[in-house]
Structure 1
């Protein structure tokens, strides 16, 4: 079974040190993290680029609670913006012990986006990190076939896909599509559940109010069983409506982790059943 992590979106802007303690309290020893964040849902904004004291406190909390960062996030290709300008943020990620960073594109120029991915991957590699790229209907790379074009364009073993189960399903990619992926094409998995149909007119607003894994409409067990195994699967389950109903962030995360563990267990059992069937 892959180890379970908690993605930064799940905790809806919680300050970094509090996030580490919450993850460890839930027996999750991997998190995804941004260099800057917060500023939402009554949580203060932070910047580990500028606040060196916070950065050191965060590193100490990671060490003391035996938590690692499984994914560095927040790197976005935008029109007229160069990912070369993210060098300082990558340096901070390296100081935090990050070994994998993720990028997405919101630049409608697809060829330029692909070139930016290649530049960013080289920058990350120079700092000992591998790179993943996420696709979603709300992004320029909307689906799996286009994402695979990006992988082919970059053409490096340290550049692979990040597959978010909700985004993949909503892009029309089911378990049969995921089963066709070669192991080297998938670097990271985010476990997300929701309705198959978008509920909110704005996709990005819709995706900030997901369901507990296993309580939505995504075929999560079959999707995880179809995907190549990865060391860490991060549960990404921001549940804005629960928070608005005065449910503590810690309880939202607890529900997300509990649901995710049941899904991963069921996916492992499905893999084992299929393996036994193949050996008869």
Structure 2
């Protein structure tokens, strides 16, 4: 009696093996998640970039063409008269200088106080340091509007109204909790052995801060400056409350001068002024972004 063994046919190797030189992603077809991600990214880019492009094109547009034609259409002719008119009637140089002073002063105060406060809370440590850190973090949820009237009364008593510190102090104060949170989070990743080795070598807390903590905090400093510069440069509420003279007006207040009587507005000159006032902030962001990339690359190379 003979037996017969049934075997299942094996698939050929040539059928299952992928073709040479063909990537696996191409055989699986397009990834739906990747396609949707790219579409969403391009939509966000268009939404963010289109207003800037439109403002720039309108700043080069003739005033009659803008008033009689389609405001959102392409300009029929380009002119630089809007920029000359904006500088002649708007005192843009003074407004930009005031905004630079307020922005630089506020950022300097935020970085110095934020780094030292976070260093004391996270690195040095003391009794009830966690409670103090929690009190700082509570300041993140405090709205700025509730401090306008008390600050105005206090500034009027000590003759601090209509000065640069009247804008720099509250701007730095309300941004300080977030700065302390960012610096504290970064300092938590620095190994304690680094500070212990420096202490064994005879370095005190101030020398450790200057030689170890400060050089390692470059990327965090850039992040804090970039985040706060947007709000400080565009601040309107503090400047409008504490500034009384035209000589100390910042850019948001100065742009109101382009609005004439009976609601008539020189739109093309206003857009030209907006382009001029945005340019310093864009240059600062390019420099800081390059500094952050350089810091990341240096850290990766050393690691």
Q: TM-score, normalised by structure 2?
A: 0.24
Q: Which has the higher contact order (CA 8 A, sep 6+)?
A: 2
> Which structure is higher in helix share?
2
**What is the TM-score with the length of structure 1 in the denominator?**
0.25
Larger Cα-atom Rg: 2
